[in-house]
Amino acid sequence: MRRLRNNYCEANIKPFATARRAWLFADTPKGAFANGVLYTLVESARANDLDVYEYLKHLLTEMPNNHHLENPSVIDQLLPWSKELPEQCRMKRNRKKCLKQ
């Protein structure tokens, strides 16, 4: 019989619990929205095995120049699961054994 383990879930929840204190200082609805957007980007990148720093750097470099307001479909190339992301955004190191599913 297999035993249920929650190590993976606990490891993913820890950054959320830690960041909760920082969110107390988002004293406006726009600040809270911005925190939510950033947290979603980071966790989506992690879920797709991306290097979060390199992915955010790529987004912040490409977004101002890609004319996404005129052609929203170009955003598809920047999504965390896109095959068109540069190799530098891919995770280069292995996850810890306890975090593997």
Give tens-digit pLDDT for 34-79: 878 888 888 899 889 999 999 999 999 988 888 878 888 888 889 9
As given in the structure block, the two tokens for residue 43 are 């966790």
Question: CA-CA distance, 39 to 34, in Å (whole number)?
Answer: 9
What value does the mean pLDDT of the chain take?
A: 79
As given in the structure block, the two tokens for residue 56 are 């955010």
Question: CA-CA distance, 81 to 68, in Å (whole number)?
Answer: 18
- Is pTM beyond 0.85? Reply is no
